[in-house]
Structure 1
C-alpha cells in the first residue's frame, strides 16, 4: 500500500486534534521483540486513554494514509509488533487499563485492552472465579494483544483458546468507526460475529479496546503430576487413557524433552529433578475439579504404572510442590532464549499424527544440519508443539545462517504434509507471511484479503503483517 510516512508536523496535528493524547518517543524498549532478533522503527508511540481517542487517531491516520502498529505488551514472537520501515506510529493502549466491571453472577469480567493477563486472573480470583487463560508472559502480556493473537497457553485442552473465552469486544476500525459490542451473553445470533473476526486478526482489521471475558467457577481441588514416558506416542496414549478414566477434569497436559531441562542446567537455573533419573521424555499433567480430584488422578496413575504407560511419577503434595513442577515447564522458554535458537517453530497437528511429526521433523532437520540440538515441547494435549532448533554446543546460531530457511522449510513442509498448521498459537505476524501464502488454501487466502480490503482499504493497520509485505528474518 502506498502509505505516507508520519512526520513531526503530522504528530503536531494529532496532538492539536486530541489534546489529551500522550505522545512519547519510540525508544529501544518499544522497538525490539523479546528474543532480540529484529529491531523495528517508528516515529513515535501514541498512548491514548479512551476509546474515543483511539477512534480519532485512526480516523486521522486513515485520512493521511499513515501506517499504525497496534502494540500490546510487546511479547509476540512472530514480529507482529515490529516493522523495519520508517514513518509509522506505534499505538499502545497501556494507559487503558481499567477493569470496568466484574459480574460473578454472570461469570463475566469486562476489561480494557491495556490490562495485563495476570491482572485479569487476579481480579477474577478476588471475585471467587477463575479466568483460565495462562501463558508464560502473562505478567506483561496485555489483553488487547492476547485477543489480537488468539493466544493459547496451558489451559486450552479444557477451556479452549482465547476466542473461546470472549463474550464481546469493543473495537475501532481503520476509519475510526467504534464497534460497541461488549456483551455478557452466551447466545446471540444477530448477524455476523465481528468479535471472532477481530480476535486473531493481529491488529490488521481493527484495534480491540476492551473485552468482556468468560469466567469459571474455581475448582475445589487441583492435582499435578510429573511423569516419565517413553516418547510422544506413549504420552498421547496416556492422555487418552486419563481422559477416558477422569473425563474433562484433565486441564493441562504438557510434553517436555530432556533437552529443555539440559538447557536450564547449562544456564545455571539449578532446578531440582522431580524424578529419580532424568528421562528423555516427560509429561506434566494437571487435573482440576470437585473434591476427590487428587485421589482420582493418583488412582489413574496407578493404573498407568500397571499398564507400563509411565515408568516414574511424582504427584505434588502441596501448592509449593505444584508451583515447583510448573516452574520447570514455564522456565524452559527462558532457557531456550538464553541458548539462542536457529529457528523456532509453533506448529499444531492432529493428535494421531503428532508422534509421526516428531520423528519425521527430526530426520528432515538433521538432513539439513546434522549437528543441531532440538528441543521439542508444548501443549501436546491440544496438538500444539514448540519445535525449536538450536546450534550444536560450542557453536552459535549465526553459524547456521545459510541453513536457516531450509530448516524452517523442512519443519513446515512436514507439518503441512501431516495436515497441521505452521502457526498454532503465536500468530503470523511478519515472520510467517510467506508461509501463509505457501500453505494456505487459495480460496481461504483470497477471502482473507477481501476482508482486509473491506475493513482497511488503505492498509494503515499493521502494514505488512499477516497478509502482505516481506517477512522478517
Structure 2
C-alpha cells in the first residue's frame, strides 16, 4: 500500500495523510467508546475535487473507504472495522458556507460544517435552520444527511430529507454529481437526492448541500407538563395540535426515572415541581405572530389540559434562561445515563397512537425476563421516535446486562415489529444493526437495497459492512 499512500500524499498533500497511530486514534473509536477499528490512514481532503481524486485512487488500488464527519454516530457507521484494510475519509476540512439566499430561504454548505455553525449563520441573516440535536456542537451536516437525522423539531420542520433541497455527491467511481439546486419543485426523473440521504456513505460521499431556511419566530415558549401515563401524553399531544397547530415545534416525552438520573448526576439541575410524576412532556411552540399571541395560546392549552385532567401540573418558562433550563433537563438524559454506567440503547419508532401500548407491553416483557432492569424511556413523542434504553439493576456494574444485549435487543425489536415500527428511527443501521435488520425487512426489500448498492458501488468500497 506504499504506492497508494504516496499517491494520496501527492493528491492532497503529505500533511493531510495521517498514518501515525496516536494521531489516528480519535478517528478509529466510536463515540460511545465501545469499539476501536483499524485503518491504513486518515485522509483529510480540502475540496470536493480532492475527495474525487481520493475515491479514484481507492478504486485503482481497491482500497475500501469510510466517510466520516464529526464521528458522533451511535451504530458504528463512521468507524472502520478491525481488518486494517480501509482508509477513513475525514470531511472536516470541507467546512465552508458557500452561499446564503435569504429570498429563496436557502443556505449552501459543505459537508464538514458543524451543525451549530449553520444554525448561527442562519441566525446572522435573521433566519432559522431548525435541525437541533444534543451533538449539534460537534456533529457535521454531512453526517446529519448521511443518517437522515431528526432531532427535536421534526414535528414541525421534518427530518433532513425535508430540510434538504439539493446535494453535491462524489460517486463510488470518483465522479462529481452537482445537484445543488435550490428548487422546491423538480420532477425530472429519479430523486437521487433522497437516495443518498440516509445511505450512511454506502453509495457515495455527500460533499455539499442546499438546505432550507425559515423565518425566525417572533416568540418561543417552553412548558413542562406532568402526567401519570404515556397515554395521557398522547392526549396532551392531540390537545396541543388542536390549540397550537403549526406553531407546535417540539413535544418530548420523558419518564420520571430519566429526570431522576439527571438530578442525581447533575445536582445543579432541579425539577420545577414539588412532587415527582411518572411521566413528563416538554413542549415548545414557535409563534410567527407575537409573544402575546404565543402566551395566550399556551395558556389556553395548559388550562384546557388541567381542566380535562390530562395533566396534573405544568410550568411555563418565563424567560430564555428558564426555557434553556427545561431543555437542559431533556438534553442531559443521555449524559446522565452514561454517568450511571453501562447501558443498552434503542432508537426505535412506532405509530404515535401506539406508543403507550408499546411502552406498557415492552416494559412488562423486559421486567419478566430481566428482573430489576431499569428503563430510560424518552424521545420525540410528536413523531413517534423513542429512545428506549435499558440500564442494569441498581448497584450492578452492567457486565451481565451487556452480556445479555442480544437477548434484550430481540425483546425490544420484536415488540417494535409487533407494533409495525422500525428498529432505527434516526441513528441509522451502521454495522451494529446491519444483520439485525434482516429479521424485520422482507426478502424483497433487502434484495432491492442490495441491487441499488451493487449498481452504484460494484466494487463494494464505499463504507463496506454497513447498512447492507
Tell me the distance in 2 between the aligned counterparts of 1:427 and 1:237: 30
Could you say which residue in structure 2 is the equivalent of 1:58? Answer: 55
Selected match of 1:209 from 207, 211, 216: 207
CA drift at 1:209: 0.2
- Describe the SS at the equivalent of 2:275: coil
Quote the residue 2:252 is aligned against.
Answer: 254
User: Counterpart of 2:307?
Assistant: 306
Contact 1:222 1:294 in 2 (8 A): no
Rounded to whole Å, the distance in 2 between the matches of 1:367 and 1:34 is 32
Consecutive unaligned residues of structure 1, counting only runs of 5 or more, are 1-6, 468-473
* Structure 1 stretches of 4+ moved >6 Å: none
Q: Alpha carbons of 1:21 and 1:96: their partners in 2 closer, same or farther (altered >3 Å)? A: farther
- Are the structure 2 counterparts of residues 8 and 266 from structure 1 closer, same or farther at C-alpha, using a change threshold of 3 Å? farther
CA contact 1:368–1:406 (8 Å) conserved in 2 = no
240-249 or 12-21: bigger deviation: 12-21
Aligned with residue 46 of structure 1, among 43, 47, 52: 43
**C-alpha distance in 2 between matches for 1:156 and 1:282:** 19
**Count of residue pairs brought into register by the alignment:** 461
Find out whether 1:13 has 2:3 as its counterpart: no
1:141 aligns with 2:108: no
> Is residue 453 of structure 2 the alignment partner of residue 452 of structure 1?
yes
TM-score with structure 2 length normalisation?
Answer: 0.96
Determine if contact 1:21/1:53 at 8 Å carries over to the other structure: no
Deviations 1:32-90 (A, max 9, x none): 11211111211211000111110011111012211100001000000101223212100
State how far apart, in whole Å, the 1-side matches of 2:166 and 2:125 are: 20
1:197-256 residue CA offsets vs partner (Å, 9 max, x unmatched): 000000000000000000001111111101101111000111011111221111000000
Counterpart of 1:322 in structure 2 is 323
Query: Quick check: 362-371 or 407-416, which moved more?
Result: 362-371
1:33 equivalent in structure 2: 30
Per-residue CA deviations over 1:435-467 (Å, capped at 9, x if unaligned) read 211101221111110000011001001110001
Distance 1:246 1:138 in 2: 27
Q: Are positions 1:335 and 2:336 aligned together?
A: yes
CA distance in 2, matches of 1:136, 1:158: 18
Could you tell me whether the CA contact under 8 Å between 2:344 and 2:402 is conserved in 1? no
Distance in 2, Cα, partners of 1:252 & 1:72: 26
Q: Which residue is 2:367 aligned to? A: 366
394-403 or 345-354, which moves further after superposition?
A: 394-403
Are 2:281 and 1:283 aligned?
yes
Report the TM-score, using the length of structure 1 for normalisation. 0.95
Q: Relative to structure 2, which stretch is displaced further, 299-308 or 23-32?
A: 23-32
Q: For the residues of structure 2 that align with 1:62 and 1:242, how far apart are their CA atoms? A: 53
Q: Name the residue aligned to 1:415.
A: 416
Q: Tell me, which stretches of 5 or more residues in structure 2 are unaligned?
A: none
